Amino acid sequence: MVFLVRLRDPLGMHRLVFGSSAASWAELQQQVEDVTRVSMRDQLISREPLHKPAYIETQASNTLAKLGINNGDILYLGGHTAATLAAASAP
């Protein structure tokens, strides 16, 4: 079964697909970097929209299940800078 997490950032919504909820936080962060070009160290990922964020702070080895992230959940990405937004919109 596919495990899907949606990610909203200033440029839109992205789909992150994993084999299961046993995927690690580091795997999620790597996919976020791949689709948004925001480096893992600069990512601020929240369970709530960014006007009232609930940032997730955890160890890279924790699983999505352990963090309470469920199939279909939406996470919100902060940490974009003018440079990453420009790079993301470049062809």
Please report which confidence band the pLDDT of residue 87 belongs to, taking 50, 70 and 90 as the band edges.
low
Which letter, b or e, does each residue of 9-39 get, where b requires 16 or more Cβ atoms within 10 Å of its Cβ?
A: beeeebebebeebebbbebbbebbeebbbbe
SS3 10: coil
Q: What is the structure's pLDDT at 81? A: 61
pLDDT per residue as tens digits for the range 34-76: 999 888 988 999 999 988 989 999 999 999 999 999 999 999 9
Q: What is the structure's pLDDT at 1? A: 75
Asked whether the predicted pLDDT for residue 86 surpasses 80, the reply is no
Q: What is the structure's pLDDT at 48? A: 94
Q: What is the structure's pLDDT at 91? A: 60
Rounded to two decimals, the pTM is: 0.85
